[in-house]
């Protein structure tokens, strides 16, 4: 019968393993019925090993339960993970993971492509499946290979949309007219001048704002790559923060959040107001996340080196930032201009020699 331990949230079981030793094993689940089912399975597998030398097999469903229960506290969005599992289940449920091979994964990929699912989405699902295989292989010592390795699809270059300065001014002007979103204009200003993601700003608390040193601190729990980041504030970004400070002092002095309603509760949803402001400003095909693209595009156009843009935006690699490299044609002109100078020097040497032979 499964039992509880003071140092663990999960159900544990005690039984005699195939070698005759007493085993104490966590089920990795807080669900009692799941724990009972796992205990029965392990006892039966132990009997098979002891009597007939049969190595235990594990189902796809068991693998995902073990993986999710072990990693749930590390994910920012458990619902997104569960959604991925729901996509995988119809194809793999009931199969023994020891018998899942690359053709099975390839079949899943073809099915998802036939459904019209984008390569990026398929790859996220494959990443989840691959992580589950790696977890049970390394941490549970299951005798399985990872059939997902090297199966990712090639993804097309991501969408890139940004605003001109004139469009940005028009958007801010219209955002200021949103009666139900008094925070919207300042959000747009701050996003355009810091390159922060939507949730990095909406989850920003006042204790992480330093107006003396002019920076905001983003904690790893709110950043996409899980790393702390310090983001400097230019004058326009600083004014946006000061506007929010004045709003707070007038309506909700006890609020923890930079972007708060008059009640002091954190702003969590702003798409409707943003969409309406874009429509009035005549801006089409533009999303909240594109404010971040706009910031990066402006910086690269101004000649800011890509590594600096990477650090400001919190990209995990320079490859992610290189999608903006084509926006600095003037820098490229300067690069090829070196060839003209080299050629001029070469011709000058010929003229000095006077005989037309190579120097």
Closest CA to 68 of 37, 94, 31, 36: 31
Assess whether 199 and 290 both reside in one domain. yes
Assess whether 210 and 294 both reside in one domain. yes
Assess whether 210 and 359 both reside in one domain. no
Please identify, among 115, 135, 156, the residue that sits at the C-terminal boundary of a domain: 156
236-282 tens-digit pLDDT: 999 999 999 999 999 999 999 999 999 999 999 888 999 999 999 99
Assess whether 215 and 317 both reside in one domain. yes
d(Cα 95, Cα 129) in Å, to the nearest integer?
13
Give the domain range for residue 355.
329-359
pLDDT recorded at residue 349: 52
Assess whether 170 and 220 both reside in one domain. yes
pLDDT recorded at residue 359: 43
Q: How many other CB atoms sit within 10 Å of the CB of residue 182?
A: 18
Q: Is residue 303 part of a domain?
A: yes
Q: Is residue 47 part of a domain?
A: no
Closest CA to 35 of 68, 4, 67: 4
pLDDT recorded at residue 192: 95
* Band of pLDDT at residue 330, cut at 50, 70 and 90: low
170-198 tens-digit pLDDT: 999 999 998 889 999 999 999 999 999 99
Q: Is residue 51 part of a domain?
A: no
130-186 tens-digit pLDDT: 999 999 999 888 889 999 999 999 877 666 788 999 999 999 999 999 888 999 999
pLDDT surpasses 90 at 217: yes
pLDDT recorded at residue 204: 96
pLDDT recorded at residue 71: 79
* Band of pLDDT at residue 128, cut at 50, 70 and 90: very high
We report the CATH number of the domain holding residue 319 as 1.10.443.10
31-56 tens-digit pLDDT: 899 889 888 887 887 777 777 755 67
Q: Is residue 48 part of a domain?
A: no
pLDDT surpasses 60 at 283: yes
Closest CA to 269 of 344, 206, 214, 198: 198
**Lowest-pLDDT range, 105-114, 155-164, 287-296?**
155-164
Q: Is residue 18 part of a domain?
A: yes
Please identify, among 124, 156, 188, the residue that sits at the C-terminal boundary of a domain: 156
pLDDT surpasses 60 at 59: yes
Chain mean pLDDT for the chain = 85
Assess whether 298 and 182 both reside in one domain. yes
Domain count, the chain: 4
d(Cα 71, Cα 52) in Å, to the nearest integer?
34
Q: Is residue 46 part of a domain?
A: no
Assess whether 9 and 74 both reside in one domain. no
Assess whether 177 and 85 both reside in one domain. no
pLDDT recorded at residue 327: 64
294-322 tens-digit pLDDT: 998 898 888 888 888 888 888 877 777 77
- 286 contacts 163 by C-beta, under 8 angstroms: yes
d(Cα 81, Cα 91) in Å, to the nearest integer?
17
The residue assigned the tokens 């199969």 is 95
We report the CATH number of the domain holding residue 68 as 1.10.150.130
Average pLDDT over residues 87-106: 92
Q: Is residue 336 part of a domain?
A: yes
Assess whether 87 and 104 both reside in one domain. yes
Q: What is the DSSP string of 32-71?
A: HHHHHHHHHHHHHHHHHHHHH-PPP--BHHHHHHHHHHHH
The residue assigned the tokens 């919207």 is 184
Q: Edge to edge, what strands does the sheet with 3-5 contain? A: 3-5, 8-16, 22-26
Please identify, among 133, 156, 179, the residue that sits at the C-terminal boundary of a domain: 156
Q: Is residue 179 part of a domain?
A: yes
pLDDT recorded at residue 358: 45
* Band of pLDDT at residue 347, cut at 50, 70 and 90: low
Assess whether 109 and 152 both reside in one domain. yes
pLDDT surpasses 90 at 106: yes
d(Cα 11, Cα 187) in Å, to the nearest integer?
46
β-partners of residue 11 are 4
Assess whether 169 and 242 both reside in one domain. yes
Assess whether 240 and 224 both reside in one domain. yes
Query: What is the distance of C-alpha 186 from the center of its chain?
Result: 25
pLDDT recorded at residue 134: 94
pLDDT surpasses 60 at 337: no
């Amino acid at each position: 019968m499964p039992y509880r331990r003071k140092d663990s949230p999960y159900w544990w079981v005690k039984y005699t393993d195939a070698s005759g030793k007493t085993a104490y094993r966590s089920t990795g689940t807080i669900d009692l019925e799941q724990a009972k089912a796992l205990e029965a399975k392990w006892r039966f597998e132990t009997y098979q090993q002891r009597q007939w030398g049969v190595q235990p097999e594990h189902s796809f469903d068991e693998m995902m339960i073990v993986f999710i229960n072990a990693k749930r506290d590390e994910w920012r969005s458990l619902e997104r993970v569960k959604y991925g599992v729901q996509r995988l289940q119809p194809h793999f449920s009931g199969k023994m993971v020891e018998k899942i091979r690359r053709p099975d994964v390839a079949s899943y990929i073809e099915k998802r492509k036939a459904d019209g699912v984008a390569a990026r989405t398929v790859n996220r699902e494959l990443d989840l499946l691959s992580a589950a295989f790696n977890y049970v292989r390394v941490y549970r010592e299951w005798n399985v290979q990872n059939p997902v390795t090297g199966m990712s699809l090639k993804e097309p270059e991501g969408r890139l949309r940004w605003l001109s300065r004139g469009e940005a001014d028009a958007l801010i002007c219209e955002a200021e007219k949103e009666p139900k979103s008094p925070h919207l204009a300042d959000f747009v200003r701050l996003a355009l001048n810091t390159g922060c993601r939507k949730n990095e700003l909406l989850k920003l608390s006042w204790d992480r704002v330093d107006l003396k040193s002019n920076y905001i601190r983003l904690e790893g729990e709110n950043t996409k790559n899980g790393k702390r980041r310090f983001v400097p504030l230019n004058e326009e970004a600083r004014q946006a923060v000061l506007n929010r400070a004045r709003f707070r002092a007038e309506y909700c002095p006890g609020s923890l959040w930079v972007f708060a309603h008059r009640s002091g509760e954190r702003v969590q949803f702003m798409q409707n107001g943003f969409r309406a402001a874009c429509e009035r400003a005549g801006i089409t095909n533009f999303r909240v996340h594109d404010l971040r693209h706009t910031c990066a595009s402006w910086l690269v156009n101004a000649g800011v080196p890509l590594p600096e843009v990477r650090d400001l935006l919190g990209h995990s690699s320079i490859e992610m930032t290189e999608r903006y490299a084509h926006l600095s044609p003037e820098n490229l002109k300067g690069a090829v201009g070196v060839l003209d100078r080299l050629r001029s020097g070469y011709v000058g040497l010929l003229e000095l020699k006077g005989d037309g032979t190579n120097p």
